[in-house]
Every structure is written in C-alpha cells, then in structure tokens.
Amino acid sequence: MTTEISRSGPMFNQNRFKLGIFGLNCSYGCTISHAATTFEPTFEHNVKIAKLADNLGWEFLLPVGRWRHFGGTTQFNGTNLEVYTWAAAISCHTEKIAVFATSHVPTVHPIFAAKQSATIDNISNGRFGINVICGWFKPEMEMFGVKQLEHDERYVMADEWMTCMKRMWTEQDFDHAGKYYNIDQGFLLPKPVQKPHPVVINAGSSPAGIEFSARHADYNVLSITSLESAASKVDNIRLQAAEYDRRCGTLSYALVCCADTEKEAKALYQRIIDEGDWGATNTIIELMLGQNFSYGSNSDEIRAMGERFIAGWGGLPLVGTPEQIVEQMLKLSDMGVEGLAISWLDYHEELKYFGEKVMPLMREAGLRQ
C-alpha cells in the first residue's frame, strides 16, 4: 500500500515491459568502439530516431548527462547535446513519448532545475522526466571548479536537492534552510503538468544510491551484470521504497545486437568489441575502480568489465535472434524488471529492425499491448 497519488503519462502506461532509448545525445552513444555505423550525435539525426520511437509507441528517451570526454581514440561521448535544451526541443518533434533530461545534481541549482523541468513539462504537455545523477566522473565535476564530494555525501546533497525540487514543483512561497541550499520564499509558476511532479528516475546502485531511489524515484535504473542476479536487486528496491510508503519500480539498460540468425547477431557484437577503444574504456574502469566499485583485481574480470563498457556502457548485452531477445526480456520481466533503456551500434537502423521483427514477438509474449 502506498499513499502516493496515482501517476499518468507514458512511464505509467499499461505496457508490462517499457521500452526506451539510451544515450542517443552523445558521440558513439553507448558503444566505445569504432565499428561502422550511420549513427551521428546531431540534433537532426536524434529527431529522426526520436520520431521513429514515438511512432512505434515507445515509452521514453533517456540522454546521458555529459560535460567532457573520456579520452582514447574515440574521445568517447565528448560531443554531446546538453540534456535540458535537448529534451525541450525533442519534445516539440514528438507527440507521445516521455523525454528525459539526465541532470547532475552539483551542476545546477534546484530552483533552476525545477524551473526548467516545469517549463519542459509544459512544453511537452506532461511528457518530461528527470534522471537524477550525482556525478561520479571526477575530472568532469572538477571542471566546474569545485571539489567533488565523497561518494555517500553526494547522495546527502542529492537528497536535499530533490527535496527542494519537489517543494518547488508542489508548494508556493516556502522557505528552505539546509546544508547545501537556502531558499527564501520559493516560488514557481507554471507548475508542472504532471501531478504531483514530473517522473523521477535514478540509476544509483550503491546502498546510498538505492536509498535515494527508494526515497525519491519512480524508477531505479538497475545495472544488471547477469540475468540471474536481477531478482534480488528488484526486491530490495521495492522493499526499501515500501519503508517510505512509496512505490519505486525497476528498469534496466542494455545494448541490443539482434539479427535474423544468432551467428549474425554474435558477429555484430564481436565487431563492436574488436573495434573497441580500450584507451577510453580503461579511463572509465580506472575511475570506477578508484571509487570502490565492487570488482576485484583479477584481470579476466576487468577485461570482462571492459567489454561490457565497450558494448553498452556496462549494461547487460542482449545478443541473438528476435526470438532470443524476447526470451531474455521475458526473463527480466519475470524477475520484476519493468523495462529497458536500449542502445544499439546503429540506433536508427536497428530500431527500425526492432520495430519490425522484435516488437510483434513482444506483443505475442504479452510484454506489450
């Protein structure tokens, strides 16, 4: 039982397994690889992908919040479109799909973030969502001239940021005096279209991150390293949210390599790995291991981790025929995962294929209406 107001909008529709697109605003998307693709991180190309997803009835578009590249030969993700302006503009080219901004807490004051969010929610008529992130990429955060906070303290700041955001969205003329923010007579009009506020997601996976999701998010975007390990993580999030008398659902993210035959799908995956940029990948791994990510020092384990980053930003790669992809989605769904933010090597072309070959099977399997 929760006391939350029932929510509306694409992220709360009847589809058992929601579909979104991840990382399309950044160069190389979610593949740290030189493998050939028609994908370009331009606004024009993003609109083409967004319109196709909208026409196919997909639920959401999730950009990556990025301020600088990760080096290597790709300068991975270095060219990218700023997320709030991107969301506002993309929403004008689409009709039904939810459009997220992925916002770093330390880079934007909550009054400004709440105002932008409310404005985009009005522009899009209730289709805006916010993915709240704390900023783990030290050189990127320190580019702003401030020292990065320790890991768990970032979530203390995020908790206060989110509290201010929610008050801006739902109250008027309130005062807030906290550790990181002081708001004197907080005022915001127009309020967001969505009630009580735009959909909030978070991808924290540490205990502090999960706690943040449980307190504030409508969905946690789980990092899943194996199909077997997902169920207990989903339960954990649900139970923690219930302690706050709330519901927090679970999404995850994945690179999809799908083709008519398993051999072709595997070859596509292998092409991404073979053309991988280990320079940028190693930078990411070093930064993450430096932050006590739960990996040992075993080189096979680190290599496997690197391959997961090269092919899908650390998510679970789904590789196979349309039937095999749907089988894997069914497994995730049975474990309580309610949808995926998907990336591909070639977003537009592979989304088109997914719409033709995978979506009908998802409907047959009862994953979508």
User: What is the spatial distance between Cα 339 and Cα 353, in angstroms, rounded to a whole number?
Assistant: 19
User: What is the spatial distance between Cα 228 and Cα 321, in angstroms, rounded to a whole number?
Assistant: 21
**Residue found by looking up tokens 């992220």 in the block:** 11
Minimum distance from residue 134 beta carbon to ligand FMN (Å)? 6
Strand ranges inside the chain, DSSP E = 18-22, 60-62, 98-104, 128-133, 174-177, 182-186, 199-202, 219-222, 249-258, 318-320, 339-343
Does 196 sit behind a cis peptide bond, omega within 30 degrees of 0 on the bond before it?
yes
Q: Give how far the C-alpha of residue 363 lies from the chain's centroid of Cα atoms, to the nearest Å.
A: 24
Minimum distance from residue 186 beta carbon to ligand FMN (Å)? 26
Paired tokens of 367: 């994953």
Closest CB to ligand FMN: residue number: 209
- Contact positions vs ligand FMN (CB under 6 A): 64-65, 102, 133-137, 203-206, 209, 221, 223, 253, 341
| CB nearer to ligand FMN: pick between 122 and 206 | 206
Paired tokens of 127: 């289709």
Q: Is 252 helix (H, G, I), strand (E, B) or coil?
A: strand
Contact 202, 220 (CB under 8 A): yes
| CB nearer to ligand FMN: pick between 209 and 322 | 209
| CB nearer to ligand FMN: pick between 94 and 202 | 202
CB atoms within 10 A of CB 314: 21
| CB nearer to ligand FMN: pick between 29 and 135 | 135
Minimum distance from residue 345 beta carbon to ligand FMN (Å)? 18
Minimum distance from residue 102 beta carbon to ligand FMN (Å)? 4
Minimum distance from residue 52 beta carbon to ligand FMN (Å)? 21
| CB nearer to ligand FMN: pick between 30 and 188 | 30
Q: What is the largest CA-CA distance in the chain?
A: 62
Strands 318-320 and 249-258: parallel
| CB nearer to ligand FMN: pick between 5 and 145 | 145
Minimum distance from residue 80 beta carbon to ligand FMN (Å)? 9
Minimum distance from residue 343 beta carbon to ligand FMN (Å)? 10
Minimum distance from residue 142 beta carbon to ligand FMN (Å)? 13
**Residue found by looking up tokens 């999809």 in the block:** 256
CB atoms within 10 A of CB 38: 11
| CB nearer to ligand FMN: pick between 209 and 320 | 209
Beta bridge partners of 253: 341
| CB nearer to ligand FMN: pick between 283 and 321 | 283
Backbone angles phi, psi at 278, to 5 degrees: -75, -20
